[in-house]
Structures are given as C-alpha cells and as structure tokens.
C-alpha cells in the first residue's frame, strides 16, 4: 500500500557563535566535532519535552570530511552528545548546502513515515580544514574541458558572474555588503541574534580557556569608502573583495525536525512548516546563480509564485550572487524582506553549517510577522548548484500583506 505523506515542521534551531578561521580565530584550539556536539546538547536542553530516545536520526554535514569532521559525524557526534546508542546518524556533503541538505533529507524520511523526529545540522572548521583539504580532483575535469579551471575557485566564479551580468556592479555589491553589516549590527543591538547562540568553551595555548558567546566576523565599523578601497584578490581590477563576500569561518548549527503530528503529541513548538524544496545544477563557472533555477523549480512544484513570498533568507556567500537572484525577480537590492538581520557577509559562512542558520532566522521572522505566510531559504553551492526551501508560517493570520 502506498504511504501517505505527513507534514514536516521545523521545531527549533541553534548555533555556536561563528568564528574567524585561522590561528588567531577563537576556535583555533577547538575541535570541529565538539562544536556540533555542543549544539546537539543545547537542543536537548532547550526541549526537555523531547525524550532523547524518540530521536530517529542525526544527519550532520561537513564539506571537508576529514579529521575531526570525518568518521560518520552524525553518528559519532550523537554518541558524544549523550544520545542513546539506539539513535543512528550519518554524514552529508553538498558543500555550502550541507546543513540544508541534512534538513531536506530527514524531511523526506519524516514525510514518508520512516522517521518521526530528527536532528539535522552542519559544522565547518575552516581554520583546521580549509575547503579542498585532502581532495584529489580528477584531472580529466579540466583536461577534457568539462569545466573551466575557474570553476574550482569560488571567488573566481563570483567574478565570472560580474562578467556575465555587468549591470551587477561592484558599487551595488559594496552597498549591499554595507547594508548587511548595518542590519546585523541593529539586530544585535536589539537582542535578536543572541537568542540563537549557544556559548562555546574555547581553548588557546597562549590564553587558556575562554568562552565564545558572540560572533567574531562582523565589522560594524564598515564604511562604503573602506569597501571601495579593498583589494580584489581573485583578479586584478576585479570586483570581488573581502568586504562584499563572506569570510573564512568556523561554526556549527543544528535543528530539530519533526512530523507535525509528532510535534503536537510531544508538545514541541512548531516554528515553520516545510512546503517544498528543490536543488538545481548550473554551469560550475557561475555557481552563484544556482539559487535562481532552484527557486524557480521550488515555486513551480509548490504552485506558488515569487509574489507569494514575504520573507527571504539568502546566503551571502558573495553579494553578487544575492543580487543575481534579486535582479532576476525584480526585487530591490535593499528590499526589507531580504535578510532582515543581515547575512553571511557580516555573520560569517562556515560552509556546511549555514543552511540551518538561514532557517533559524527565518523562523524568528515568522514569529514576528504573522501577516507573512511564505518565506524561502536559498543558497548557492560550489561546483554549480543551488538550493531553495519554501516554508509556511504557522502563525499566519490571513492577511495578504507581505
């Protein structure tokens, strides 16, 4: 007999503060798996109504699955976090969309009836494990001209988008980046950011033990004049800079996903309801345009249009890739529906963890905006992909206002 699908809900999400990658970053002496273990423990602490034995799966992503980000991370981190040994787990890699894919993967199992409750998330310690560490790309991908060499360097793919769409100027990117810093600073001052963060113990050979309780990457002192003067490391006289792109970061995220009927049974909160999702492939040389076809597919399959979407959480890997999606749909660069609390340009982008950060922030926006029914989380993905998830606001009051 064919199984009927169930509604899938996002219950809650948390993250560590994001750090700067490198020997001077706050997590330089901290293991990657300890970051995500802390996240799992916090989710369990925040929801005593969820018996740990009711968790059916732990799906965790990392882009560089090596060292302390390897060894079937979902299973090992679950054990380290104190979950019952009966709770299984696995690892996922879809580069920047790792945590997003962890969520959609367990959502499929929940909808099918194979799972009731799952933990999904991701971690990236780019200080310990730079993107590409230990990989051995097949030389045929270049020699047989399957991709241009620039496809393997994310910053160069962003420059390629500028080439293809010259109206997406550096000036627009710098202004968008400044807005990201300013929106994050305001959200931080208003107490919006701290509600997601789980403090993380840190250790330094020089400074001893510490406590990470705030994001390290933001630059609230940013000015448009400062952005204009930054170097363009990916191309002489280029347009992509350290100011209009996300940095190299360390951090972990996690969330609880559940069948809506199970959430009601256990008394778990329902923060968002999943409507649908899509992933799409694009030319690897312009991977940043991936969110455009992914969003088109997701909307079509859901029977919605872009006019139905009242909130957007778009990953700011590069300002130009966000602007490419906004231009495609005729949305203003400074539309208040887009990344209301700033984005990865300010907060940071620890690759495989970022998808759940987008979702957690969208859940908060929904709670504050009951007049908005639908929102999306979307991101570009290395080697030429994009991913978009559409969510419904359970607090929706029936207004048509966006």
Catalytic residue among 47, 96, 129, 365: 96
Q: What is the pLDDT of residues 52-77, one digit of tens each?
A: 999 999 999 999 999 999 999 999 99
Q: Supply the mean pLDDT for the chain.
A: 96
225-271 pLDDT, tens digit per residue, is 999 999 999 999 999 999 999 999 999 999 999 999 999 999 999 99
Provide the percentage of residues in the chain whose pLDDT is more than 90: 95
Residues β-bridged to residue 59? 90, 120
Q: Where are the domains of the chain?
A: 147-194+274-391
For residue 205, the model assigns a pLDDT of: 82
96 in active site = yes
CA dihedral 93, 99, 104, 109 (to 10 degrees): 80
Structurally, at CATH architecture level, domain 147-194+274-391 sits in 3-Layer(aba) Sandwich (3.40)
**Which of the following is catalytic: 47, 162, 349, 364?**
349
pTM above 0.85, yes or no: yes
pLDDT tens-digit map of 174-232: 999 999 999 999 999 999 999 999 999 998 888 889 999 999 999 999 999 999 999 99
Q: Is 349 a catalytic residue?
A: yes
* Dist CA 283 CA 281 (whole Å): 7
- 10 Å CB burial of residue 194 (0-12, 13-18, 19+) is middle
Task: List pLDDT tens digits, range 279-319.
Answer: 999 999 999 999 999 999 999 999 999 999 999 999 999 99
Q: Which residues contact 65 (CB under 8 A, 6 or more apart)?
A: 73, 91, 93
Confidence class for position 146, pLDDT limits 50, 70, 90:
very high
173 catalytic residue (yes or no): no
User: Which one of the listed residues 47, 125, 162, 380 is annotated catalytic?
Assistant: 380
Rg (CA), the chain: 20
């Amino acid at each position: 007999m064919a199984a009927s699908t169930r509604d899938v809900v996002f219950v809650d999400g948390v993250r560590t503060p994001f750090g700067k990658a490198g020997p001077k970053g706050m997590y330089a002496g901290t293991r990657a798996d300890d970051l995500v273990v802390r996240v799992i423990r916090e989710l369990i602490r925040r929801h005593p109504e969820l018996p740990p034995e009711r968790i059916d799966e732990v799906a965790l992503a990392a882009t560089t699955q090596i060292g302390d980000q390897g060894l079937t991370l979902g299973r090992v981190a679950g054990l380290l976090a104190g979950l019952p040994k009966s709770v299984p787990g696995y690892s996922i890699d879809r580069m920047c969309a790792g945590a997003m894919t962890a969520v959609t993967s367990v959502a499929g199992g929940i909808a099918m009836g194979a799972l009731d409750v799952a933990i999904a998330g991701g971690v990236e310690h780019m200080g310990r494990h730079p993107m590409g560490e230990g990989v051995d790309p097949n030389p045929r991908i270049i020699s047989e001209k399957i991709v241009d060499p620039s496809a393997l360097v994310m910053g160069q793919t962003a420059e390629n988008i500028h080439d293809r769409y010259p109206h997406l100027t550096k000036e627009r990117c710098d202004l968008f980046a400044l807005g990201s810093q300013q929106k994050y600073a305001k959200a931080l001052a208003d107490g919006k950011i701290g509600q997601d963060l789980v403090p993380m113990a840190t250790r330094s050979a020089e400074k001893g033990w510490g406590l990470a309780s705030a994001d390290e990457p933001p630059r609230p002192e940013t000015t448009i004049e400062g952005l204009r003067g930054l170097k363009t490391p990916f191309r002489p006289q280029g347009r992509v800079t350290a100011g209009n792109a996300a940095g190299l970061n360390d951090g972990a995220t996690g969330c609880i996903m559940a069948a809506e009927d199970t959430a009601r049974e256990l008394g778990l909160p329902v923060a968002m309801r999943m409507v649908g999702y899509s992933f799409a492939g694009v030319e690897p040389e312009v991977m940043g345009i991936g969110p455009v076809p992914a969003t088109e597919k997701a909307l079509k399959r859901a029977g919605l249009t872009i006019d139905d979407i009242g909130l957007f959480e778009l990953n700011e890997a590069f300002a130009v890739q966000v602007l490419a999606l906004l231009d495609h749909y005729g949305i203003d660069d400074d539309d208040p529906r887009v990344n209301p609390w700033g984005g990865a340009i300010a907060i940071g982008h620890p690759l495989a963890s970022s998808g759940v950060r987008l979702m957690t922030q969208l859940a908060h926006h929904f709670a504050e905006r009951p007049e908005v029914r639908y929102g999306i989380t979307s991101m570009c993905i290395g080697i030429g992909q994009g991913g978009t998830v559409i969510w419904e606001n359970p607090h929706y009051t029936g207004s048509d206002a966006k």
